[in-house]
Amino acid sequence: MLNEGEVVAGVTSLAGEIHVLREKERDQVEVYDVITYRLQRCLTVPNARIFEDMTSCEHYCCIYISDPDVECIHRLDAQGAATQWPVNDQPYGLSVNAQRNLLVTCRVARKIKEFTTDGHIVRTVDLPGDVINPWHTVQLRSGQFIVCHGNTDDAVHGVCMISADGRHIVHSHGGQPGFLTDQYNLPAHLAVDNDEFIFVVDMFNCRVTLLSPTLDYVRQVVSRDQLKWWPWCVYLDTQKRFMYVADNERKDGKFTAGRVVVFSV
């Protein structure tokens, strides 16, 4: 487990170090040694307002942070030099695809936007009408997208595989919100391993579920008993087979504290 402190909005790795994004005014990105989990240094995200997610790109040696309040992406290199660019929609979940471009899930607009590392838009994918409140997207080697979707009051909470053009749902898992193995209660974040098995953060069920490449239920990999609070996001180190889960305290409808729990998978 990494240090307990402010709310954790994202976790990823870059250049052999673990990066943790916390909700605070400065020194928001804490950088930890991957072996000892000791804090090495902190990076500040200038002109930041609200954080929703963070991801990294080893090729460009940078991290990306989504800020829905000002509708922008913040980009930090390994030394902490910062730039930002507009999304022109509220950005939520982030991931990097095989082309080393950034995929931005725009929850309210129900779109996926693809950007180059310097902020030039490549394309916009409109999601099918059945996908309401998408939180996070990852792209498979086939070009198809895996999207988790569903907010508190929505009739459907689930994970779906969407065709590369964004028009069709190929497979899906979930439905009416609930606590059974084929149900979710706010599926908030995703990770995919080298064999394209999918890890799903099921926030209000306090668990992480493993799905097959065709979105069939495999097993529960993190249970309520292994978490102190509410899971928000996940990062999977596919080489070391470690999974990092942001575990946040929630009181009166607001997140108040957080930590990162490390699991061997």
Query: For 96-129, how does the pLDDT look when each residue is reduced to its tens digit (9 = 90+)?
Result: 999 999 999 999 999 999 999 999 999 999 999 8
Question: Do the domain assignments include residue 181?
Answer: no
Q: Give me the domain span that covers residue 108.
A: 8-128+188-264
Reported as a pLDDT band with limits 50, 70 and 90, residue 4 is confident
Residue 76 reports pLDDT greater than 90: yes
Domain at 207, CATH number: 2.120.10.30
160 in a domain, yes or no? no
Position 105 in a domain:
yes
**pLDDT higher than 80, residue 186:** yes
HEC assignment per residue over the chain: CCCCECCEEEEEEECCEEEEEECCCCCCEEEEECCCCCEEEEECCCCCCCCCEEEEECCCCEEEEEECCCCEEEEEECCCCEEEEECCCCCCCEEECCCCCEEEEECCCCEEEEECCCCCEEEEEECCCCCCCEEEEEECCCCCEEEEECCCCCCCEEEEEECCCCCCEEEEEEECCCCCCCCCCCEEEEEECCCCCEEEEEHHHCEEEEECCCCCEEEEEECHHHCCCEEEEEEEECCCCEEEEEEEEEECCEEEEEEEEEEEC
In-domain check, residue 242: yes
Band the pLDDT of 240: cuts 50, 70, 90: confident
pLDDT greater than 90 at residue 201: yes
pLDDT of residue 253: 79
Asked, for residue 97, whether it belongs to a domain, the answer is yes
Does residue 100 sit within a domain? yes
- Please check whether residue 90 lies inside any domain of the structure: yes
Q: Say how many domains are in the chain.
A: 1
Task: Please indicate, yes or no, if residue 230 is contained in any of the structural domains.
Answer: yes
Percent of the chain with pLDDT over 90: 83
- pTM: predicted TM-score of the whole model, two decimal places: 0.94
